[in-house]
């Protein structure tokens, strides 16, 4: 008898985890189990501490509503209208959700397939200060419909997840993610999933987190495949990552220690955090939070570690959107306010060579200086590092690497193929109001069907359906019309960055 045996509970699908029995909800052959604790509530003595294993319970625990979200503030206007960020009150924010095909077992009690169904674990983005698994765009029903067990997680954000203190562990939010993946390893068979066929995937800060997990010895063996959407391997030294913590401490007029921060009212702490971090964007300036190179969870810079062969045995799918920058530069008018002088100053601050800028200006003669700046920074921070990582992995000669680009242009506010636009396509949730805030009402369903199917195929077989990265540098482009495999680097990349 396989261990993939569903727990029989009245009035709903049931699953027995190591902590106790859960009762979820069932609709159209998909079971959902929401708000499952994977660690104890990070309050009291556990605040600013590494996650501790969840406590067990007696009887049947209801799992039909999303659990509390990590302390955060919504996006500021105008992004608030484009990026909904639901908040669920409560302390037990270290929780996750599972969507699974149901019944989870075959008629004789056997598990589906060889050991169970493929599993995908979603890590949301949000600059390490926003986001949660409760966003409707991330609903896992479509993945379960197509044979995948989908898990989405919450983790601590902002100062409580990525503050750097002398008296607390580093990278607490990343430790939360590892604890959630450990829970998946130990429990996912109860939902029909195969613990040896886990794909971890994330977007933006979620993708940066996935890259750090790829480089972390503490996450070794917790997943077999990975997807990076619009995020590249990046981290900072302890000293540099600590600067945002020090800036918040200065605003609060308290020492930059976990002990001092723990005495600050949570709402006051969030207000100070927002005041310090909301001045910039993920592309330029501001005081963002970073993953820290701490010698423990992240022993060295993730980019260096992956270039040196870390996780070379993990199959990797990664890519970017054509116009990432427009999400931050267009709605608030930043693209219009950046003139030639400010462009030059910002490029100099970013240590971008004048010869590089010249290439972009010559090939984008009709674009404003702010748009040219955004294109340069997008390539510098996202597209070029991912292509370089693919080159490094090609030389390792182990697992395959696949590249994509999302290029369908949204008509909303002339955002084009901006940051986060691909999410509704990957999750096949174009019909939701939260998705349409970015896509508008007429996004092509056939493109969502194709992109979603590629992610399902990658999680199932390790092959999304096109040729892996090789000397010809193939990139699957999901744009207007049918997905198209494009070879050779872009002219801008070849001339400006030596690609």
- Dist CA 471 CA 194 (whole Å): 34
Residue 488 is given by DSSP the state S
- Dist CA 223 CA 131 (whole Å): 23
CB neighbours of 436 closer than 8 A, spacing ≥ 6?
Answer: 430, 443
350: how many CB neighbours lie within 10 A of its CB? 15
Structure tokens at 457: 């195929």
Coil, strand or helix: which one is 229?
strand
Contacts of 337-345 with CB under 8 Å at 24 or more apart are 337/370, 338/368, 338/369, 338/370, 338/373, 339/369, 340/369, 342/369, 343/369, 343/370, 343/372, 343/373
- Dist CA 36 CA 23 (whole Å): 10
- Contact between 233 and 302 under an 8 Å Cβ cutoff? The reply is yes
Contacts of 103-108 with CB under 8 Å at 24 or more apart are 103/6, 103/13, 104/4, 104/6, 104/13, 104/15, 104/31, 104/190, 104/191, 104/192, 105/2, 105/4, 105/5, 105/6, 105/192
Q: At what angle do helices 243-252 and 266-277 cross, to 10 degrees?
A: 120
Known catalytic residues are: 204, 324, 419
Structure tokens at 387: 């292509």
- Contact between 301 and 293 under an 8 Å Cβ cutoff? The reply is yes
Structure tokens at 56: 């067990």
H helices of 226-315, in order, are: 238-241, 243-252, 258-262, 266-277, 302-307
- Dist CA 248 CA 252 (whole Å): 6
- Dist CA 112 CA 102 (whole Å): 11
- Dist CA 219 CA 277 (whole Å): 29
Pairing outcome for strands 225-229 and 193-203: parallel
First to last CA, the chain: 54
- Work out the burial of residue 108: count CB atoms within 10 Å of its CB; fewer than 13 is exposed, 13-18 middle, 19 or more buried: exposed
DSSP class per residue in 10-63: TTEEEEEETTEEEE-EEETTEEEEEEEESB----GGGTTS---BPPP-SSEEE-
């Amino acid at each position: 008898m396989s261990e993939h045996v569903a727990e029989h509970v009245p009035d709903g699908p049931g699953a027995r985890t190591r902590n106790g029995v859960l009762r979820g909800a069932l609709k159209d052959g998909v079971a959902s189990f929401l708000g499952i604790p994977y660690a104890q509530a990070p309050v009291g003595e556990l605040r600013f501490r590494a996650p501790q294993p969840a406590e067990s319970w007696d009887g049947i625990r209801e799992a039909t509503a999303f659990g509390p979200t990590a302390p955060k503030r919504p996006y500021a206007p105008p992004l608030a209208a484009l990026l909904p960020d639901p908040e669920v009150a409560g302390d037990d924010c270290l929780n996750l959700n599972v969507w699974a095909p149901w019944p989870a077992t075959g008629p004789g009690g056997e598990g589906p397939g060889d050991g169970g169904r493929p599993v995908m674990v979603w890590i949301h983005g949000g600059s390490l200060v926003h986001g949660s698994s409760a966003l409707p765009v991330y609903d896992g029903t479509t993945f379960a419909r197509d044979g995948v067990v989908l898990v989405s997680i919450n983790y601590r954000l902002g100062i409580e997840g990525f503050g750097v203190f002398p008296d607390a562990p580093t990278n607490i939010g990343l430790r939360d993610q590892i604890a959630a993946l450990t829970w998946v390893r130990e429990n996912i068979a109860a939902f029909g999933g195969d613990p040896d066929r886990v794909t971890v995937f994330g977007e933006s800060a979620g993708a940066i987190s996935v890259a750090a997990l790829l480089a972390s010895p503490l996450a070794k063996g917790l997943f077999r495949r990975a997807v990076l959407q619009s995020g590249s391997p990046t981290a900072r030294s302890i000293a540099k990552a600590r600067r945002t913590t020090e800036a918040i401490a200065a605003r609060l007029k308290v020492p930059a220690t976990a002990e001092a921060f723990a005495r600050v009212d949570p709402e006051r702490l969030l207000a100070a955090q927002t005041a310090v971090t909301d001045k910039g964007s993920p592309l330029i300036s501001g005081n963002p939070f970073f993953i820290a190179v701490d010698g423990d969870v992240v022993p060295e810079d993730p980019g260096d570690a992956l270039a040196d062969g870390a996780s070379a045995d993990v199959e990797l799918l990664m890519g970017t959107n054509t116009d990432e920058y427009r999400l931050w530069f267009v709605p608030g008018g930043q693209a219009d306010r950046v003139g030639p002088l400010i462009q030059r100053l910002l490029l100099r601050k970013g240590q971008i060579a004048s010869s590089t800028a010249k290439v972009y200006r010559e090939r984008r003669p009709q674009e404003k200086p702010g748009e040219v700046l955004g294109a340069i920074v997008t390539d510098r921070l996202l597209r070029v590092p991912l292509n370089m990582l693919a080159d490094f992995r090609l030389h390792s000669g182990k697992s395959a690497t696949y590249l994509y680009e999302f290029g369908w242009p949204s008509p909303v506010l002339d955002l084009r193929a901006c940051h986060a636009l691909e999410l509704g396509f990957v999750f096949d949730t174009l019909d939701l109001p939260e998705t349409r805030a970015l896509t508008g009402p007429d996004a092509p369903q056939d493109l969502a069907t194709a992109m979603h199917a590629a992610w399902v195929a990658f999680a199932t077989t390790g092959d999304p359906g096109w040729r892996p990265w090789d000397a010809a540098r193939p990139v699957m482009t999901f744009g207007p019309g049918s997905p198209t495999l494009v070879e050779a680097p872009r002219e801008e990349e070849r001339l400006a960055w030596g690609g």
